[in-house]
A and B are shown apart, each in its own frame.
Chain A
Amino acid sequence: MKILGIESAALVASVAILDEDITIAEYTTNFKKTHSETLLPMLDEIIKMTGIDCSELSAIAVSGGPGSFTGLRIGAACAKGLGLALDLPLIHVPTLDAMALNIYSSDAIIVPIMDARRNQVYTGIYKNDCNLEIIKDSMAVAIDELFEILKDLDNKEKIKKIIFLGDGVPVFREYIDKNLEIAHDFASANLNRQRASNIAMLGLKMFKEGKSLLSDDMRPEYLRKSQAERERNVDKTDAGL
């Protein structure tokens, strides 16, 4: 069963085709060109290279968020357009869950952090001792709040080591080293960003569990309201409404 994976939640643009336990092709860039210009040409490239026809695909898995609002929508529109054209189901794969798959067969606590601006990160807490375990689901929190959650976890059951990855690392690396007392490390360059093969792999698993969607119904998970909605809610609170 062939699954197409699409990842454009952050700066990385990535597409991959997975056939059961084989990654047939993967094309990943982490470059300043916009996803709108790169994503489909990259897909076309791997399709041409492998000679696979889109009609051979069983489903399309897409990195569903959280992440850059625009990046998520470009990925979603790409997946929805292809899903509609090819009459294929979509699988909405949580971006952070897929990132956690970069670390495998380890007893470390895996914490992907994506820079969410405003001193916050999109993050989740995982373990992947060959089977991905979600300890804490995707959330948008301040880095200090994440530290508190990790300390609580450490108090309950001693954490041997935390592995951080994602584009939040360059932003918060020094701060983490300075302020987090739990043993930790940062994933290496080949494992510290999003990859579409992870999306396709987790997507295939979810697809087999029946967790697919009609392309019409797929919408990104932003974890945040728009600025206008947030400010409006603040106004309401101020006015005592």
Chain B
Amino acid sequence: MKKNNIKILAIESSCDETAVAVVEDGRKVLSNIISSQIDLHTIYGGVVPEIASRKHIENINFVIRDALKEANVTFDDIDAIAVTYGPGLVGALLVGVAEAKALAYGLKKPLIGVHHIKGHVFANLIEHENLKPPFVCLIVSGGHTEIAIVKDYNDFEIVAATRDDAAGEAFDKVARSVGLGYPGGPKIDKAAKLGNPFAIEFPKARVNDSKYDFSFSGVKSAVLNYQNKANMTGEKINVNDLVASFQRAVVEVLVEHTITVAKDYNIKNVAMAGGVASNTALRSLMEEKCNEEGLKLHFPSPIYCTDNAAMIGVAAYYEYLNGNFKDLTLNAVPNLEL
């Protein structure tokens, strides 16, 4: 099997983006098409799984054609079909998985199943040519908050996880509660810039019995309680101060634990992945602390932080090199583990 000029067509449909990309040799993104449904879900204040699945099936062939066209390739040039098979919304995942299997079967090309979070981690390789394992990666999104040690391209160890909400979920809930709307992450990021992060002291998102794990329900509840109390006493809340203080409570712990892991495992490269990795407060504090500790920090551009298929194409390349292919029985696994 050839090792160079491997072009992979990758499909991602685990949540509310129908995304298809063509990636060469795990680094070069030839196309990265994302059909976002965010406007459809905004009126519901969050992603509606059934609506997401319906949009995926309507969009998918158009997005695949666009990805081929943008990459200036045809199916003949494609060496393998890759697809996210978990974790995610089962109905949404199933559209991508069934489509990818049918494509691979019809084209007689190998099929690769990719773990969504592995994709997020590998998004870092797209723009950082020199980044190689081992590295520590903080994964933060609406569905995940984990610290992984990437020992090798196919060897991950999760050393920290959240005990309750994901960080992004806490952002969404707080944003909704203070009336900033959906999606919460970018809205809070923006409002926090106008506020004083030291105005209110909220509990930190750590747990007592673990050095690395997270818990966001406490800080989230504290924000909601603060609001209720202010409502009862008729005190006027400064929303910008409130979300800036909340954001600080979350971000400080994310950074602190990531740095601790890097130091404990003596790893010099740190990366960030997932939608919340584009939060500006998180980026600047992580940068500051990494500089202090002599660590090198990497993070993807915002377009590769949120859900996309380029990252799936990157992760798929290493499965391809390992000969790790799936057969036609591949199913969607909504709670797939790393």
**A residues apposed to B, CB below 8 Å:** 34, 36-37, 39-41, 43-44, 54, 69-70, 73-74, 76-86, 215-216, 219-220, 222, 226-229, 232
Contact = CB atoms under 8 A, between A and B. Distances in A.
A220 B55 CA distance: 11
A83 to B, nearest CB: 8
A229 B51 contact: yes
15 contacts: A36-B331, A36-B332, A40-B328, A69-B50, A70-B90, A73-B98, A77-B95, A80-B99, A81-B98, A81-B105, A82-B106, A216-B62, A216-B65, A229-B51, A232-B43
B125 interface: no
Nearest to B92: A73
A82 B91 contact: no
A143 to B, nearest CB: 24
A81 B62 contact: no
Contacts of A220: 57
B50 A80 contact: no
Contacts of A86: 106
Contacts of B44: 228, 232
B102 A77 contact: yes
Contact of A74 (B51, B94, B327): B94
The 5 closest A-B pairs by CB, nearest first: A81-B102, A85-B106, A77-B98, A226-B50, A216-B61
B229 interface: no
A39 B98 CA distance: 9
A150 to B, nearest CB: 31
Given A219-B58, A228-B44, A73 B102 contact: no
A77 B102 CA distance: 8
A70 B96 CA distance: 12
Interface residues of B, number: 37
A226 B89 CA distance: 15
A36 B93 CA distance: 11
B96 to A, nearest CB: 8
Interface in B281-323: none
A157 to B, nearest CB: 39
Contacts of B94: 36, 70, 73-74, 77
Given A78-B98, A84-B103, A228 B51 contact: yes
A69 B106 CA distance: 24
B95 A73 contact: yes
A169 to B, nearest CB: 27
A40 B101 contact: yes
A44 B103 CA distance: 13
B75 A77 contact: no
A69 B99 contact: no
A226 B51 contact: yes
A228 B106 contact: no
A74 B54 CA distance: 11
Most A Cβ at <10 Å: residue of B48, B54, B95, B102: B102
Given A37-B331, A40-B105, A81-B101, 14 more contacts: A34-B331, A40-B98, A40-B102, A44-B328, A54-B106, A69-B54, A73-B91, A77-B95, A79-B102, A85-B102, A85-B106, A216-B62, A226-B50, A226-B51
B99 A81 contact: yes
A39 B51 CA distance: 24
Interface of B: 43-44, 48, 50-51, 53-54, 56-58, 60-62, 64-65, 75, 90-91, 94-103, 105-107, 327-332
B51 A219 contact: no
B95 to A, nearest CB: 5
Given A84-B103, A85-B75, A69 B53 contact: yes
Given A73-B53, A77-B98, A84 B91 contact: no
Nearest to B46: A228
Nearest to B103: A81
B192 to A, nearest CB: 30
A84 B64 contact: yes
Nearest to B100: A81
Contacts of B102: 40, 77-82, 85
Contacts of A80: 57, 60-61, 99, 102
Nearest to B329: A37
Contacts of A44: 105, 328
Nearest to B96: A77
B48 A70 contact: no
A67 B105 CA distance: 25
A85 B53 CA distance: 21
B45 to A, nearest CB: 10
Nearest to B51: A226
Nearest to A44: B328
Given A36-B332, A85-B103, A85-B106, A228 B50 contact: yes
Given A77-B95, A227-B50, A228-B48, A84 B61 contact: yes
Contacts of A34: 331
Contacts of B331: 34, 36-37
Contacts of B62: 216
Contacts of A43: 105
B190 to A, nearest CB: 27
Contacts of A232: 43-44
Contacts of A79: 102
A228 B43 CA distance: 10
B54 A226 contact: yes
